[in-house]
Amino acid sequence: MEFDCPVPMTQYSNILLAHGSGGTMMHQLIDKVFVAAFGSPELKAGHDGAVLDVEGRIAMTTDSYVVNPLFFPGGDIGKLAIYGTCNDLAMCGARPVYLTAGFIIEEGLPMETLWRIVCSMREAADETGVRIVTGDTKVVERGKADGVFINTAGVGFVPDARVIAPLQVSEGDVIILNGDIGRHGIAVMAGREGLSLETAIESDAASLAGLVNDVFDAGVNVHCLRDLTRGGLAGALVEIARSAGVEVVVNECDIPVTEPVRGACELLGLDPMHVANEGRFILFVPENDALNCLHCMRRNSLGENARIIGRVAHRQSPGSVRLNSVVGTSRIVEMIAGQQLPRIC
Amino acid sequence: MEFDCPVPMTQYSNILLAHGSGGTMMHQLIDKVFVAAFGSPELKAGHDGAVLDVEGRIAMTTDSYVVNPLFFPGGDIGKLAIYGTCNDLAMCGARPVYLTAGFIIEEGLPMETLWRIVCSMREAADETGVRIVTGDTKVVERGKADGVFINTAGVGFVPDARVIAPLQVSEGDVIILNGDIGRHGIAVMAGREGLSLETAIESDAASLAGLVNDVFDAGVNVHCLRDLTRGGLAGALVEIARSAGVEVVVNECDIPVTEPVRGACELLGLDPMHVANEGRFILFVPENDALNCLHCMRRNSLGENARIIGRVAHRQSPGSVRLNSVVGTSRIVEMIAGQQLPRIC
């Protein structure tokens, strides 16, 4: 989608503090930028909130986005703000439907930058089939934020009989991963640090709701879903092993990592298992459903490299994750303590 | 509510970047601070989102809070983050039920400060009858935010037949205000600038959902509601006059302003009509319902000074707001263009 840049219409080429103060300048910013880009009937109604129809149960989630830089190979903060929150809803077994958007903008942000971001959000929202129904704008003084921070909260619909949660995970469940890991974190870091890698690495940022929906439509009995954002594949596996009280075993040789990502990780001393992704997730399904699940996923470009990476073992060491390495050894996978790559989402 | 300060349990007396990076330190922060304070079963489930039961239609809203200072006479950023979003839901005619909470924390924030804020949020949530069901934590480098920014998004339930919106406003409607205006903005500004006013002014920050509910329970046929936050009473009146396409007339002598607020406004060159409030709102009701509405409101401490401040006139100048001043003149009330007081919410 292409919009003309609205800079002339807003009269200001940069965000001023006054754009956040509830007066005519804020209303102009909302009309000319946010409503113009997002254009949902609820936003146009100009009320403080949106009244919405729902079906059955809802899932609700929120994420704030503070990625630095705002634009990186394969994505930008706007795409992340839509994909990330919708992916979290999809991981609850929900179809994403409604989003809120809260902007905290640093005084001085070029209006054109803001416009590029909101257009990217609109594109991502259309692709995912969600509507941005209400929002909020705050402006803080120069130096009191870093360009723009975006919060999105989402509501999705969950069919009545569907329960997707760590506690559904059972011994014998197979773990499926939808593709290669580590690209998002490395792409953002390379963009931030100005690293010139031999091969350009693009973020894997993507909207997973459609693929997840395909899996449900195929009748797969999904037990649990988790996207591999902060903390990476290792973090997601440890979280679920702990919440479910199960032991998980994965095979390193089955976990795809592209050569450029592997090279960059070696150079930087990072473990791809801990690097963040924005379009990768794992599914826990009964063994009987694994082939049907793989077959269905591989028909979708976001799942064409889907494969089984491990399974839920006997409950000998509940809460632990064991990795069988390519060289035949076996080690326990831990969550990292603190930061590997800050501000990647 | 009083909690023991969890500083020893988290091992860290200040927030580190690593607290936002998806590893064990972030999980410890979530467990020991957010889950400990908020304690909802959905948060304890440790999933990426919450699956929730709903009744009828929902209202959805969001607000980011960037108030400076974090603590001010009569409130703090945590109380605002709960009251503000719940008040927005109440203004949609909804009963607030579920909240999300997204924190963007500056590296170095004292853990004790964060704890005081989340305890204040819990208190305010309990008072309002809402649950914080899911959240998110990001940490940015020192100097890249200002202490902490909080986003809350909320979902409330709206009875099927209830429609509260500017378009419901009709000629002859009476406008009721629940109390004196201007205290919140002045209290925050005095706190920030270190002004020592003759009489201490406390913010009017309050949860309005209970009072609004009383009005509905009394059978008042409410047409529209609006809280008087950024932009103040003037901003709210102009927004509704424009959205509804009506002319609004208010009487200055009926708009309560306390002497300390009037004095501070004169000193600072501010118009109380434009100063933000966090516990004040206006109701548009048919003239026949006005007495019932006032009677009901005055039984609640948040409405004990409720009074009629004006009415919806003939549609001669749709979108305009006229103020009959105390000295007998009449003037058009405008929204302010930009900032009067930045970062008051």
- Residue A6, pLDDT score: 52
pLDDT mean values, one per 10 residues, chain B (345 residues) = 51 83 81 83 77 86 96 97 97 95 94 92 96 93 95 94 93 98 96 83 97 98 96 94 94 97 93 96 98 98 98 88 94 84 87
pLDDT confidence of residue A31: 85
CB contact under 8 Å between B104 and A104, yes or no, is yes
| 8 Å CB contact of B18 and A339 | yes
The answer as to whether A129 is a domain residue is yes
Secondary-structure breakdown of chain A: helix, strand, coil percentages, each rounded to the nearest 5: 35, 25, 40
Are B151 and A155 within 8 A, CB to CB?
no
Provide the residue range defining the domain that includes A324. Answer: 166-332
Same domain membership, residue A146 and residue A269: no
The domain tally of chain A equals 2
**B115 and B259 together in one domain:** no
- Kindly state whether residues B99 and B195 are assigned to the same domain: no
pLDDT tens column, A145-165: 999 999 999 999 999 889 999
A-facing residues of B in 248-287 (CB < 8 A) are 276
Q: What is the CATH number of the domain that holds B67?
A: 3.30.1330.10
Report the residue of A141, A151, A225 to disrupt the B interface, i.e. the one with the largest count of B CBs within 10 Å: A151
**Chain B residues inside the 8 Å CB shell of A334:** 24
- For residue B113, is it within any domain? yes
> How far is residue B283 CA from its own chain's centroid?
15
Chain A CB contacts of B226 under 8 Å are: 48
The model's pLDDT over B45-100, given as tens digits with 9 standing for 90+, comes to 777 778 887 878 999 999 999 999 999 999 999 999 999 999 999 999 999 999 99
Note the pLDDT of residue A2: 45
In chain A, where does DSSP find H-type helix? 7-10, 24-29, 36-38, 41-44, 77-91, 111-128, 183-193, 209-217, 232-244, 259-268, 290-298
In tens digits, what is the pLDDT along chain A, a chain of 345 residues? 444 555 545 678 888 888 887 777 888 888 888 888 887 888 887 777 788 878 789 999 999 999 999 999 999 999 999 999 999 999 999 999 999 999 999 999 998 899 899 999 999 999 999 999 999 999 999 999 999 999 999 999 999 889 999 999 999 999 999 999 999 999 999 999 888 777 889 999 999 999 999 999 999 999 999 999 999 999 999 999 998 999 999 999 999 999 999 999 999 899 999 999 999 999 999 999 999 999 999 999 999 999 999 999 977 889 999 999 999 999 999 988 776 788 989
By the 8 A CB rule, do A121 and A130 touch? no
A interface test, pick of B27, B31, B54, B62 with most A CB neighbours within 10 Å: B62
Rounded to the nearest angstrom, the minimum Cα separation between A61 and chain B is 4
Distance from CA of B59 to the nearest CA of A (A): 4
Strand partners, B136: B102
pLDDT of residue B33: 83
Task: Among A52, A57, A62, pick the best mutation site for testing chain B contact (most B Cβ within 10 A).
Answer: A62
pTM: 0.93
| H-assigned helices in A92-200 | 111-128, 183-193
Tokens of A199: 């091969």
Same domain, A189 and A143: no
Tell whether A200 and A101 lie within a shared domain: no
Of B106, B136, B158, the residue at which a domain comes to its end is: B158
Together in a domain, B183 and B261: yes
Interface touch B20/A94, C-beta < 8 Å: no
Chain B residues whose CB is inside 8 A of the A46 CB are: 166, 239, 243
- The one-character DSSP state at B24 is H
* Contact call for A66 and B104, based on CB within 8 A: yes
CATH code: domain of residue A264: 3.90.650.10
Q: Best residue in B48, B65, B92, B132 to probe A by mutation, most A CBs within 10 Å?
A: B48
Nearest to B102 among A62, A135, A337 (CB): A62
Task: Give yes or no for B20 touching A (CB within 8 A).
Answer: yes
Closest chain B CA to residue A43 = B61
- Could you say which DSSP state residue A94 is in? P
Of A60, A92, A140, the CB nearest to B155: A60
* Domain boundary residue, one of A123, A158, A193: A158
How confident is the model at residue B4, as a pLDDT? Answer: 52
Q: Name the nearest CA neighbour of B308 among B323, B328, B329, B290.
A: B290
Contacts of A267 (CB under 8 A, 6+ apart): none
Query: Is there a contact between A336 and B23 if contact means CB atoms under 8 Å apart?
Result: yes
Residues A126, A272, single domain; the answer is no
Is A240 in CB contact (< 8 Å) with chain B?
A: no
Same domain, A182 and A251: yes
Interface of B with A in 135-174 (CB under 8 A): 135-136, 138-141, 143-146, 149, 151, 153-156, 158, 165-166
pLDDT at position A4:
52
CA separation for the pair A217, B50 (Å, rounded): 22
Q: Of A158, A179, A199, which residue sits at a domain end? A: A158
Q: Does A246 touch chain B (CB under 8 A)?
A: no
Q: Do B136 and A64 touch (CB under 8 A)?
A: yes
